[in-house]
């Protein structure tokens, strides 16, 4: 696809569409929007625009489409697969100024938001009303970026991922047309589900300018446990047992010993340095949760758990959960001279113990710092390979380890990406994962974005 480089006239005309302080070609702004949190190579846009309304986005896209200028959306830049890197330059639309809560309808469990709001800011506002938006990627992330990547988190095993919480979307298409889709009703069987087409499309089909999200009520009672096992495989088998038992965990997180060690170092948690499951259950009463814990204990004992610490105090639970959330940031702090290559695959839960055993074996033999952890309840696993991107040998190791784990996941009817998206790094697996339906994805892309201006170089090979 041929794209136009921005000349003086383009710059002037684009600048006139917004206030002067919301258009920049400054070096530091271009650099700030040239890389996400991944190991992928940086690539600068030619200009950054901070829109404040759907109408502005519409006008900019109409212009960009006419002149064949690439446009890439930008939330918080926390992606791990190069998803928002403007690899073909052009414009970046940074949504940080479209960050308002437009209306909270607490009785309907719904909120209307602009795309640039951080999910944690949103949850802070909702907490006072006894509500929350469950997907929690842990990093600083915006609702627009979460919708585009179909982000998940520690609570997905119970509450689903972002796609399960989007009721309505306003999207600006490549030609500048703004369309609204969805309904405020909690269910519908009317027409094609366009929302699900845009969720997870990484800004390659349209730009989200408003969303209505479905919320959950904060649970009445919590219970949490930390359980250690002699091997990650045994922990993986316990995960399978808990999910199969229908106990409905709210979190079921796996941490290999190196992750526990790092969390101990950073937060002084005093946890045993062993393969660990951190689990949380939500329920109506303490009695119900005590019964649940008893069954969970039995399952973990069957898999030979070495220690079972149930009924953690609220403060201790919050401390552990916070540490788990911050694990990604700890990795970066602990290896300041390295970039994170965060492998992310997911498999059916029956395949989880085998996958986790392979991931552990590969990471131990990698010869570079590597950490295995995952949202185990969703069959999702991450291997964070900490690499020096300028070191050719290390990059080869990263590619090899990553490729073996993805291949294994695909051979088990899993996916090459459970939550980080395709971005740049997983495009090479699209054909093997999707077969002939990939051709239909390409047709949808050319229908909605015939000039290919929206986030080019992503998702499709």
Ligand X SMILES: Cc1cc2nc3c(=O)[nH]c(=O)nc-3n(C[C@H](O)[C@H](O)[C@H](O)COP(=O)(O)OP(=O)(O)OC[C@H]3O[C@@H](n4cnc5c(N)ncnc54)[C@H](O)[C@@H]3O)c2cc1C
Binding of ligand X at residue 56 (CB under 6 A)? no
* Closest distance of CB 254 from ligand X, Å: 13
In angstroms, the CA 315 to CA 262 distance is: 20
Contact positions with ligand X (CB under 6 A) in 249-308: none
Return the number of other C-beta atoms located less than 10 Å from residue 128's C-beta: 9
Binding of ligand X at residue 374 (CB under 6 A)? no
Out of 47, 455, 456, 457, the only residue in the binding site for ligand X (CB under 6 A) is 455
| Residue 281 · residue 293 · CB < 8 Å | yes
Number of residues that bind ligand X (CB under 6 A): 37
What track of x and - describes contact with ligand X for positions 17 through 36 (by CB under 6 A)? Answer: -------------------x
* Closest distance of CB 419 from ligand X, Å: 3
Binding of ligand X at residue 138 (CB under 6 A)? yes
Stretch that binds ligand X, among 73-81, 218-226, 248-256, 445-453 (CB under 6 A): 73-81
In angstroms, the CA 143 to CA 213 distance is: 10
Q: Which CB, 296 or 422, lies closer to ligand X?
A: 422
Binding of ligand X at residue 153 (CB under 6 A)? yes
Out of 72, 223, 276, 417, the only residue in the binding site for ligand X (CB under 6 A) is 72
Out of 34, 46, 71, 95, the only residue in the binding site for ligand X (CB under 6 A) is 95
What track of x and - describes contact with ligand X for positions 162 through 201 (by CB under 6 A)? Answer: ----------------------------------------
> Residue 188 class from Cβ within 10 Å (0-12 exposed, 13-18 middle, 19+ buried)?
exposed
Contact positions with ligand X (CB under 6 A) in 104-123: 115
* Closest distance of CB 241 from ligand X, Å: 24
Out of 29, 43, 65, 79, the only residue in the binding site for ligand X (CB under 6 A) is 79
Out of 70, 75, 283, 353, the only residue in the binding site for ligand X (CB under 6 A) is 75
Out of 51, 145, 249, 379, the only residue in the binding site for ligand X (CB under 6 A) is 145
Binding of ligand X at residue 74 (CB under 6 A)? yes
* Closest distance of CB 136 from ligand X, Å: 7
HEC sequence for the chain:
CCCCCCCHHHHHHHHCCCCHHHEECCHHHHHHCCCCCCCCCCCCCCEEECCCCHHHHHHHHHHHHHHCCCEEEECCCCCCCCCCCCCCCCEEEEHHHCCCEEEEEHHHCEEEECCCCEHHHHHHHHHCCCEECCCCCCCCCEHHHHHHHCCCCCCHHHHCCHHHHEEEEEEECCCCCEEEEECCCCCCCCCCCHHHHHCCCCCCCCEEEEEEEECEECCCEEEEEEEECCCHHHHHHHHHHHHHCCCCCCEEEEECHHHHHHHHHHHCCCCCCCCEEEEEEEECCHHHHHHHHHHHHHHHHHCCCCEEECCCCHHHHHHHHHHHHCHHHHHHHHCCCCEEEEEEEECCHHHHHHHHHHHHHHHHHCCCCEEEEECHHHCEEEEEEEECCCCHHHHHHHHHHHHHHHHHHHHCCCECCCCCCCCCCCHHHHHHHHCCHHHHHHHHHHHHCCCCCECCCCCCC
Binding of ligand X at residue 457 (CB under 6 A)? no
Structure tokens at 115: 């795309």
* Closest distance of CB 435 from ligand X, Å: 24
Binding of ligand X at residue 456 (CB under 6 A)? no
* Closest distance of CB 430 from ligand X, Å: 15
Q: Which CB, 107 or 337, lies closer to ligand X?
A: 337
Stretch that binds ligand X, among 105-113, 144-152, 238-246, 366-374 (CB under 6 A): 144-152
Contact positions with ligand X (CB under 6 A) in 389-428: 419-420
| Residue closest to ligand X, measured at CB | 145
Return the number of other C-beta atoms located less than 10 Å from residue 272's C-beta: 14
* Closest distance of CB 85 from ligand X, Å: 9
Contact positions with ligand X (CB under 6 A) in 202-221: 202-203, 207-208
* Closest distance of CB 386 from ligand X, Å: 13
Where do contacts with ligand X occur on this chain (CB under 6 A)?
36-37, 72-80, 83-84, 95, 115, 137-139, 141-142, 144-146, 148-149, 151-153, 202-203, 207-208, 328-329, 419-420, 455
């Amino acid at each position: 696809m041929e794209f136009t480089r921005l000349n003086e006239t383009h710059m002037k005309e684009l600048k006139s569409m917004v206030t002067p302080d919301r258009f920049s070609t400054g070096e530091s702004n271009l650099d700030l929007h040239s890389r996400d949190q991944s190991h992928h190579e940086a690539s600068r846009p030619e200009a950054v625009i901070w829109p404040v309304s759907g109408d502005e986005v519409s006008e900019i896209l109409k212009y960009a489409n006419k002149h064949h200028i690439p446009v890439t959306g930008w939330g918080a830049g926390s992606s791990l697969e190069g998803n928002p890197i403007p690899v073909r330059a052009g414009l970046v639309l940074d949504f940080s100024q479209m960050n308002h809560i437009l209306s909270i309808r607490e009785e309907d469990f719904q909120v209307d938001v602009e795309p640039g709001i951080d999910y944690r800011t949103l949850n802070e506002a909702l907490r006072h009303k006894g509500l929350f938006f469950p997907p929690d990627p842990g990093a600083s992330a915006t609702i627009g970026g979460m919708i585009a990547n179909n982000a998940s988190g520690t609570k997905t095993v119970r509450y689903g991922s972002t796609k399960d919480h989007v009721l309505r979307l306003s999207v600006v298409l490549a030609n500048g047309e703004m369309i609204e889709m969805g309904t405020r009703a909690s269910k519908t069987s009317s027409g094609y589900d366009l929302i699900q087409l845009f969720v997870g499309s990484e800004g390659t089909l349209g730009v989200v300018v408003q969303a209505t999200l479905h919320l959950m009520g904060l649970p009445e009672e919590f219970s949490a446990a930390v359980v250690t096992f002699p091997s990650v495989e045994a922990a993986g088998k316990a995960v399978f047992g808990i999910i199969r038992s229908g106990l409905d965990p709210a979190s079921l997180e796996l941490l290999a010993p190196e992750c526990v060690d790092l969390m101990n170092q950073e937060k002084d948690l005093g946890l045993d340095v062993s393969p660990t499951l951190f689990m949380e259950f939500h329920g109506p009463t303490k009695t119900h949760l005590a019964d649940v814990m008893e069954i969970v204990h039995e399952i973990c004992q069957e898999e030979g758990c070495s220690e079972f610490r149930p009924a953690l105090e609220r403060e201790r639970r919050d401390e552990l959960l916070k540490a788990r959330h911050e694990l990604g940031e700890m990795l970066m702090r602990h290896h300041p001279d390295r970039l994170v290559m965060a492998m992310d695959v997911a498999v059916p839960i029956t395949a989880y113990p085998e996958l986790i055993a392979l991931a552990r074996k590969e990471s131990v033999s990698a010869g570079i710092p590597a950490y295995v952890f995952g949202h185990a309840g969703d069959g999702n696993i991450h291997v964070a390979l900490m690499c020096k991107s300028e070191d050719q040998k290390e990059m080869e190791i990263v590619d090899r380890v990553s490729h073996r784990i993805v291949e294994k996941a695909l051979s088990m009817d899993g996916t090459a990406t459970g939550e980080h998206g395709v971005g740049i790094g997983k495009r090479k697996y699209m054909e093997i994962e999707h077969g002939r339906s990939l051709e239909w994805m390409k047709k949808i892309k050319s229908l909605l974005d015939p000039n290919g201006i929206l986030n080019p170089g992503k998702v499709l090979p």
